[in-house]
A and B are shown apart, each in its own frame.
Chain A
Amino acid sequence: MLAILILLICTLLLGYIWGKHDGRVEGYEQGIVNLPLLLREQSYGQGYCILCNEQLEKKPSD
């Protein structure tokens, strides 16, 4: 009974480590895809384009 419980928690630990590793890889890939869009959105909000560094004529919030 005790051996089964130990085995069960070992499996839980391995599953957790596996899931955490996969989540980290997936999160990194999603971050790479989303970061340029977020930076562009932020820069437009501040009134300039991050790609050409040109000032926008009108801020989107105006």
Chain B
Amino acid sequence: MWHAIFEQSCIVIAVMLCAIAVKFVDDFLDQDLDTHAGSRNFTTQFGNGTVVYAMLALALAASLNTNPSIPLFLASYSVGMFHDLKQPFPTGLSGWQESLFVFLFGVMLWGWQIMLFAILFIASIQLFDDYVDVCTDQLVGYRNIASRIGKVECLLLSIITMLSAYWVCEPVFLSVFLGTFLFYGVLFFYQKGEY
């Protein structure tokens, strides 16, 4: 009993640390956009150290529980590329090519089930994030998924992908969902309702 609780708690904390890593990298890449939108960004506090802290958080997450943490990070990288599908990257590959390669590497290393779960879960969070941020993003002239396909469509797609993630990998869903929920809760209070 205690062993099971301890294992699930480790997953929750690992997911929170992984979410911190993704958030820090995202803030580092989007600092110009956030400055124009007037949103809080961790890069203003940590400077270039933001990326180092992101690496530290990911290393801690992987140490605590490797299985959902690394697939979730790979999925975040893969889904994050959807915004720049045609843009060439330093590797010489375009966004969709990098996205596909990362996903395939993830499938080879971790198996299709957990990678599909991670992609669906992260896509759902991304869609919900775009649904919430649609007005802020439009103010700075950035067309996110919600403004491209419509707000209601974005919200319904978010619900569909979240339910599909639960359907694909039920055993880890609750811990991952709880970890993400707690992370967003802490972030909400940290940013004093700006999120």
Q: With A and B bound together, what is the CA distance between A17 and B150 in angstroms? A: 9
Count A-B pairs with CB separation below 8 Å. Answer: 24
Within 8 A of A (CB), among B152-170: 152-153, 156-157, 159-160, 163-164, 166-167
0/1 interface trace, chain A 2-35, chain B, CB 8 Å (1 if under): 1101100110110011001000000000000000
Query: SS class of chain B's interface: helix, strand, loop or mixed?
Result: helix
A2 pairs with B167, CB closer than 8 A: yes
A13 pairs with B156, CB closer than 8 A: yes
A27 to chain B, nearest CB (A): 15
A12 pairs with B164, CB closer than 8 A: no
B163 pairs with A9, CB closer than 8 A: yes
Within 8 A of A (CB), among B125-177: 150, 152-153, 156-157, 159-160, 163-164, 166-167
Query: SS class of chain A's interface: helix, strand, loop or mixed?
Result: helix
Q: With A and B bound together, what is the CA distance between A17 and B5 in angstroms? A: 43
The answer, among B156, B157, B163, for a CB contact under 8 Å with A5, is B163
Q: With A and B bound together, what is the CA distance between A17 and B153 in angstroms? A: 8
Closest A residue to B164 by beta carbon equals A6
Within 8 A of B (CB), among A23-58: none
**Neighbouring B residues of A10 by C-beta, 8 Å:** 160
**Neighbouring B residues of A5 by C-beta, 8 Å:** 163
Q: With A and B bound together, what is the CA distance between A5 and B163 in angstroms? A: 8
B167 pairs with A9, CB closer than 8 A: no
Closest B residue to A16 by beta carbon equals B152
Q: With A and B bound together, what is the CA distance between A13 and B164 in angstroms? A: 15
Q: With A and B bound together, what is the CA distance between A5 and B159 in angstroms? A: 10
24 residue pairs A–B, Cβ–Cβ below 8 Å = A2-B163, A2-B166, A2-B167, A3-B167, A5-B163, A6-B160, A6-B163, A6-B164, A6-B167, A9-B156, A9-B159, A9-B160, A9-B163, A10-B160, A12-B156, A13-B153, A13-B156, A13-B157, A13-B160, A16-B152, A16-B153, A16-B156, A17-B153, A20-B150
Of all A-B residue pairs in the complex, the 9 with the closest CB atoms, nearest first, are A13-B156, A6-B163, A2-B167, A9-B160, A9-B159, A6-B164, A16-B152, A6-B160, A10-B160
